[in-house]
Structure 1
Amino acid sequence: MTYDRLVCANCAGPVAEGRCPTCRASRQRLEQQEGPFAQLNPAALVALLVILLAALALVAHQAA
């Protein structure tokens, strides 16, 4: 989950802005939990999947 869409229950501001100590703590915790694909949006992940499938199909076609 990305924190750019989260709203803080303490100050009612976006967590990404870090307006209060609660926001800053949540933002830091979420940044530490991010994986290697956290910055990619769903469209980019789908595009990567399509490219991977196309590459596998090409390898399978050349091997046959």
Structure 2
Amino acid sequence: MTCEHLVCANCAGPVNEGRCPVCRASRERIHREGGISVPPVVLAALVTLIVIAAVVAQRLAG
């Protein structure tokens, strides 16, 4: 998750701007816990490619 589209309930400003202490704390928490965010479509494509590679490898070996 990113804080680009979040609105602060305390000051009604964008969280990524960090206008108030609540915004800054939320932004820091999101960045600390966020890690790498991968869209589900990319994960599905990666799984599909791995399955295709496994099938091709099995046919070539057998």
Same fold per superposition (TM over 0.5): yes
Aligned length: 62
Identical-residue share of aligned pairs (%): 48
Unaligned 5+ segments in structure 2 are none
RMSD: 2.1
Unaligned 5+ segments in structure 1 are none
**The residue matched to 2:53 in structure 1 has which SS?**
helix
Calculate the TM-score normalised by the size of structure 2.
Answer: 0.66
Q: Deviations over 1:26-53 (max 9, x none)?
A: 01011111233x1x34443444333333
Q: Which has the larger radius of gyration?
A: 2
Calculate the TM-score normalised by the size of structure 1.
Answer: 0.65
Higher RCO (Cα < 8 Å, 6 or more apart): 2
